A and B are shown apart, each in its own frame.
Chain A
Amino acid sequence: MIVTHNELITVTNKAFLGMRRVCGEADLIANMVADLQMVGLHGVKHFNNATQFISLERDEPVDIKVTDGHLIADLHGSSVACHLPVIIDYALEQMIANKHLKLSLKNCHNRWLAYSELLMLAGKGIACKAQWDNGSSPKHTLYILNRGCVLPELFLAETLQREANGLNDMTIELSINDFDIANLSSGYSKHIDAKNLSGIQDTAWNKGVFVEDHEWDLLKNTATAILVENSEQSIRGAGE
């Protein structure tokens, strides 16, 4: 299915609103999904994965501890999409005193969906490094967005890195200095560079965004939760 950016945003927004959650912001989550999908990184699929579990999640604030440039947030098994913006707000306050901050997100899922928030930070001059281990392929993901970058350098590996991370954790590092990409990326089996992602993004804007048919159908179906069935009153509600 070829869709447009606006369709992605609109349908995801409706889908999330239909979940009636306390935590999570529909407009930001729509951007998270669209930004990923526009560069071919399966935003819709990640969101669809999230929707399977969101209704089972604890819909409550995260717990945060900060010690010496290290912020630890327990998401209680929730989606990163629903909590990352408030965590980032809080982290940026801590960065007033630190040039570098490490965020350890514990007990979370949908870690790909952090991408959009980190893009925004890079645009504001804060370099970002995100990595996590995963139970299935790829076993480890790393992406780096240095200051001012609009797209990341992405590295994938088929071995777990286990840097004090569980399979449901994620580490994000924020810095006012750029990360050394060459040094950090050694040992990864696959590199998707920003130029490659940029090409996919250009095609998506100009020719439309590819989404797997069943993923699109699933998303659209989720988005119907916000609709109210037709009635005599709803017909009159248009202002006869």
Chain B
Amino acid sequence: MSDDTLRMLRDSAADFATLDAVRVRRLRGTDPGFERGVWRSMADMGWLGVLIPEDQGGLGLGLGAALIIAEQLGRALYPEPYSDSAVAATQALQHGDNAALKQRLLPQLASGELIAGLAWQGEHGGLALDQCALRLEERGGTPVLQGSCRFAAIPGADAFIVAARSAQGLELHWVERARKGLACEPEARADGSASARLRFDAVAVSAESRVAAAASARAALQLALDHALLAASAELLGLMDCVLDMTLEYLRTRVQFGKAIGSFQALQHRAVDMYIQRELSRAALGAAVATVEGAHCTAEQRGAAASGAKARAAQSALALCKEALQMHGAIGYTDEYDLGLYFNRALVLAAWLGNAGAHRARFSSLAPLP
């Protein structure tokens, strides 16, 4: 994809995604917490299909394009589940082994008709792929899902791609939310969104609903998660841009002791450290994308790059938000001031799919020793 295409995409995404703080506040604590109309607008611009091949209804622009969109959505705190559905779930389906299912569902994901979530984690979360407490069992000759998952990102999804353990190993299945026997319990998150705990009681599945059989499920899930980690890092990067800009503007205009507080060296140097953290995150993400999109990238290299970028983005974003709050003083701690929206979103994105500590540990296990 040419630099021009990327630039145009960035410009159009930036135009579309401006912060509507009234909307963000209004949607907090609601079900599903985002707007289908906005989702359809995003589909109309082709964003939901940037990762989907052209012959399956997408644009096939690749990961770099998806991250540009994620970054702009992060800037504007969009509650629509772009990274969850258009990246994580879409990638899991796409890299699964069920051609018929892809042919049927990918166009619907690209068009925005369907929103999907990825459900793979167990009660305590973490990064292990086979942690889920969901089992594939036989009931009267029919395979059924029994058990539960947690931390599925969107209770409002139309369907979930779930990871379940079978005798053969881990499998991925497509399960519509409306299926009998599936209960979806939301858990409120810091930013007013919710994640879902899913309980399955003998939910029947079949070979047709199987996104990936045991032979390919782990690889498909890990790839989807690694790409989603980069999308989350891109959202955090966009968020950091805004938090830093907001803070710098405040430092330039807030007057105390007869001077703009941004003229005080103690605050200037801390602002520089915020800037450095943002730049480290940007460089780490850019390099990770280059690694992941490289021709000879192994799964280990991809994982190390994605975990490294997420560890950096999560750590930096939280550091930036805390510093921004301190520099704003009491006004920053009020719900009516927009900084809090960024602050709470940073908490959610930093923890989603594993926090900085978890990803440092994964990086450590994947990257060669120096």
Q: Do A and B come from one complex?
A: no
A positions within 8 Å CB-CB of B: none
